Amino acid sequence: MMKLHHIALSTLAALLPLLPAQEQAAPPAAQLSAQAHPFHRTDLYPAWSRMTPQQALTDLRAAIAQANDRLAAISAVTPETATFENTILAWYEAGENLKQTMNYAYHLYIVLGKKDMQHMMDTLMQESTNHSAEGLHAPRIAQVLQQAGNAPWVQQLSPEKQRFVQQTLRQLRDSGLTLTPEQQVRKAQIEQEISRLGFRFSQYVKMSPQVWELIITDPAELDGMPERWMQNAAAAARHRGVATDEQPAWLINLTNSPASAVLRYCNVAETRRKCWRGTTSAGTARTLDTEPLIHRILELRHELATLLGYDNFADKEAAHRMMGTGQRALAFVDDMLAKTKPAWDAYIAAELRRYSKASGKQLTAVAPWDTAYLDHHLPPARNKFNVKTITPYLQTDNVVNGLLNMWAGILSLRFEELPTVCLNPGEPCPDGKIEVWYPGVRCFAVKDAATGTHVGSFYLDLYTRPGKRGQAWCLPLRDGNPAPDGGVGEPHLAALMANIAPPMPGKPQLLSHSELYMLHHEFGHMMHMMLGHGEIRPHCTAEVERDFVEMPSHLQESWIWEPAALATFARHYQTGEPMPAELMAQLTASRGSNPIEMHMRMLLCSKLDLEMHINYEKYKGRPIDEVASEILAPWLFPYTEQPPTELRTLTYTMAEGYAACLYTYKWCEMLAADAMSRFKKEGVLNPATGADYRRSILERGSSVPAMQQIRDFLGRDPQPDALLELYRPR
């Protein structure tokens, strides 16, 4: 699902008042030069070869000392001397080099993955979080910031600065700095326990597939299984010591002799039923039952929210987002469910007809262990488009160049490639070259086409290699500064990272359709990171409301389905011919074939996630499978037996950062589909529409609420019609 695009810098900002007092005298800020501290916020392009683990620690300590100096200055501010700059903004800026050091170190750790880097990251995290509430200035700073935030002069500030004051006050409240000392202790205990239980939850889910197994001794029970599968299962049983040549047996598990094959091929319904139970057993086994963990995590989250003055945990999370409250998020999900219901009912009716035909019985419900088996015995779906047929048209360099040219046109930008070099420690950087962390990493300057203003630069590191973290992501490396006149200021710096197979001599370098999608998606994030600017630095970033972060990426990935866009970069790698119109039409038509199950699954998980967090009191202590069935009853597929609730294995919600937040996937998808409908109407390559997208959304960073941005682009409130159209039965 969602990938990590950036570390939450705001969490580092929240740590600042808790930093330790330094025993030694802090060096004056002027000495914190680029030469001495390459991890600090210095030149636009970092000197990567000088950024060693030892240097990171030196720079972190210097940054902590600097932050402490700055925090001491804030704590000395009185109501008479307070200004926006020396209180609210100064608090944000106090840790700029701390954030910068952690940011560069984290980047090097995930792109190089060397052992010493991992050790460095552990040490840095330890150093920066080791010191809890004994922070020298914390209570005084909370007082200064609160007084400043409520001072009469705030009313005289620009709307953007007033917005930042409100954001800071909310951050102050959620970080617990305004609580009593006893409450702060309790808050820390709750957070530690949630984190411990979340970790255990993930472990249980991860270990679950290893505990289930089924041993069959009568081959008649495995009628229909392919010979090769039988041999593997027999070998697994012997290996396990439960069978001999004289007394054969067959071992089925969820790893190497998979139950999924039994569900497909086995003619014996009872064997399929047992295997289905196995495939849905995660989080239910006696020793790995996640239900008690879920109850306790929900209880602790509710207590935390109440402690911070919210009605429930969903409200606490939504307060910083476009939704504002948990109820509003739930209303969105309920509305989408209601509007999807006709399509979903039609899908269910069609599925029951199919299964009735395959089984020769009139079914009103289907056994969940029969579906894969019946699917296997039905004729294949008509003319299913094989997406592999387009890969000869997706030569990597053509796609990358085409993508840049296309977006240069749409957004009125210029992408200039800069020559790069990878250096050994101590080697001087040749003039005119930009240093990179690995050979072959590219670097582009992004400029406004009309004025030539340099708005940002980004690295492009496409290929997989040992040590590099998997998947694809964008990481903002260094936020630009606003210009004093309110225009475009200092450029941004970011990295687009992917894991495409590296070029092989004599072989064409072709992308799969999913890699094409990935590139467009990440490029949406990149444009958001490159173009944002505002009056103050915290608003120049793409750190917008969390339920808006994925909007530009979802929007820009839509271009991979547009013939006009494909025509700009899809050329046959041997002949150079453009992709034939017929193939494009097939590709476009294949979009959305049978996606309603995924759509519904995401909506139902989002509903469950919100209901459990909003109505904690109503459901607390009740069996979770029963509660889930009750909440989701109107939409459940008519199986003869429902599987255990997905909540039992939903690590995103129970152990990672998506508690009460799963709805954001569908919300961002809806906003993107709606925005795309305007592009489709006016032309997907239309620079006038692109200029409006750039002006209304990409350039605004978080300087105005995201809802205002999307309204400005659409000229109205967002509507779900364009998204629903994608899931209309065809």
Distance in Å, CB of 502 to Zn ion, minimum:
23
Distance in Å, CB of 554 to Zn ion, minimum:
8
Distance in Å, CB of 497 to Zn ion, minimum:
12
Residue with Cβ nearer Zn ion (272 or 525): 525
The DSSP bridge pattern shows strands 420-422 and 492-500 to be unpaired
- Identify whether the C-beta of residue 494 lies closer than 8 Å to the C-beta of residue 530: yes
Residue with Cβ nearer Zn ion (120 or 668): 668
Cβ neighbour number for residue 335 with a 10 Å cutoff: 11
- Identify whether the C-beta of residue 570 lies closer than 8 Å to the C-beta of residue 579: yes
Residue with Cβ nearer Zn ion (515 or 550): 550
Residue with Cβ nearer Zn ion (490 or 550): 550
Which is nearest to 718 in space by CA: 728, 708, 726, 727?
708
Separation between Cα atoms, residue 17 and residue 67, nearest integer Å: 9
Distance in Å, CB of 525 to Zn ion, minimum:
6
Q: If DSSP codes are grouped into helix, strand and coil, which group holds residue 593?
A: coil
Both tokens assigned to 7? 């570390």
CA 537-539-544 angle, 5° bins: 140
Which is nearest to 509 in space by CA: 549, 452, 463?
463
Which is nearest to 531 in space by CA: 673, 711, 411?
411
Distance in Å, CB of 553 to Zn ion, minimum:
4
Residue with Cβ nearer Zn ion (454 or 525): 525
Distance in Å, CB of 4 to Zn ion, minimum:
9
Residue with Cβ nearer Zn ion (473 or 616): 473
- Identify whether the C-beta of residue 262 lies closer than 8 Å to the C-beta of residue 372: no
Residue whose pair of structure tokens reads 């305007």 in the numeric block: 678
Separation between Cα atoms, residue 645 and residue 81, nearest integer Å: 57
The CA–CA distances, whole Å, from 309 to 170, 179, 187, 660 equal 11, 10, 12, 17
Distance in Å, CB of 465 to Zn ion, minimum:
22
Q: If DSSP codes are grouped into helix, strand and coil, which group holds residue 540?
A: coil
Distance in Å, CB of 354 to Zn ion, minimum:
35
Task: Show the binding pattern over residues 687-716: x = contacts Zn ion (CB under 5 A), - = does not.
Answer: ------------------------------
Residue whose pair of structure tokens reads 């599925």 in the numeric block: 351
The CA–CA distances, whole Å, from 493 to 267, 454, 455 equal 59, 11, 9
Q: Which residue is nearest to Zn ion (CB)?
A: 553
Task: Show the binding pattern over residues 528-567: x = contacts Zn ion (CB under 5 A), - = does not.
Answer: ----------------------x--x--------------
Distance in Å, CB of 555 to Zn ion, minimum:
11
Distance in Å, CB of 168 to Zn ion, minimum:
27
Distance in Å, CB of 665 to Zn ion, minimum:
10
Binding residues among 600-619 for Zn ion as defined by CB under 5 A: none
Distance in Å, CB of 474 to Zn ion, minimum:
8
Q: If DSSP codes are grouped into helix, strand and coil, which group holds residue 159?
A: helix
Task: Show the binding pattern over residues 408-447: x = contacts Zn ion (CB under 5 A), - = does not.
Answer: ----------------------------------------
Cβ neighbour number for residue 709 with a 10 Å cutoff: 26
Separation between Cα atoms, residue 123 and residue 267, nearest integer Å: 57
Distance in Å, CB of 550 to Zn ion, minimum:
5
Based on the shown chain and the rule CB under 5 A, indicate whether residue 664 belongs to the binding site for Zn ion. no
Separation between Cα atoms, residue 38 and residue 36, nearest integer Å: 6
341-358 in b/e form (b: 16+ CB < 10 A) is: eebbeebbeebbebbeeb
Q: If DSSP codes are grouped into helix, strand and coil, which group holds residue 686?
A: coil
CA 93-95-99 angle, 5° bins: 110
Residue with Cβ nearer Zn ion (1 or 220): 1
277-309 in b/e form (b: 16+ CB < 10 A) is: bbbbbbbbeeebebbebbbebbbbbbbbbebbe
Distance in Å, CB of 470 to Zn ion, minimum:
15
Distance in Å, CB of 518 to Zn ion, minimum:
9
Residue with Cβ nearer Zn ion (330 or 697): 697
- Identify whether the C-beta of residue 678 lies closer than 8 Å to the C-beta of residue 404: no
Separation between Cα atoms, residue 486 and residue 534, nearest integer Å: 7
Distance in Å, CB of 3 to Zn ion, minimum:
6
Residue with Cβ nearer Zn ion (42 or 553): 553
Residue with Cβ nearer Zn ion (26 or 472): 472
Residue with Cβ nearer Zn ion (93 or 550): 550
The CA–CA distances, whole Å, from 558 to 118, 198, 307, 676, 714 equal 37, 35, 42, 7, 17
Residue with Cβ nearer Zn ion (371 or 553): 553
Site size toward Zn ion, by CB under 5 A: 2
Residue with Cβ nearer Zn ion (550 or 562): 550
Distance in Å, CB of 557 to Zn ion, minimum:
9
Separation between Cα atoms, residue 391 and residue 393, nearest integer Å: 5
Residue with Cβ nearer Zn ion (250 or 667): 667
Residue with Cβ nearer Zn ion (554 or 694): 554
Helix, strand, coil proportions of the chain in percent (round to 5)?
A: 55, 10, 35
Mapping DSSP onto H, E and C, the string for 693-723 reads HHHHCHHHCCCCCHHHHHHHHHCCCCCCHHH
Residue with Cβ nearer Zn ion (160 or 550): 550
Residue with Cβ nearer Zn ion (528 or 533): 528
- Identify whether the C-beta of residue 15 lies closer than 8 Å to the C-beta of residue 128: yes
Spatial neighbors of 426 by CB under 8 A, at least 6 apart, are: 49
Chain contacts with Zn ion (rule: CB under 5 A): 550, 553
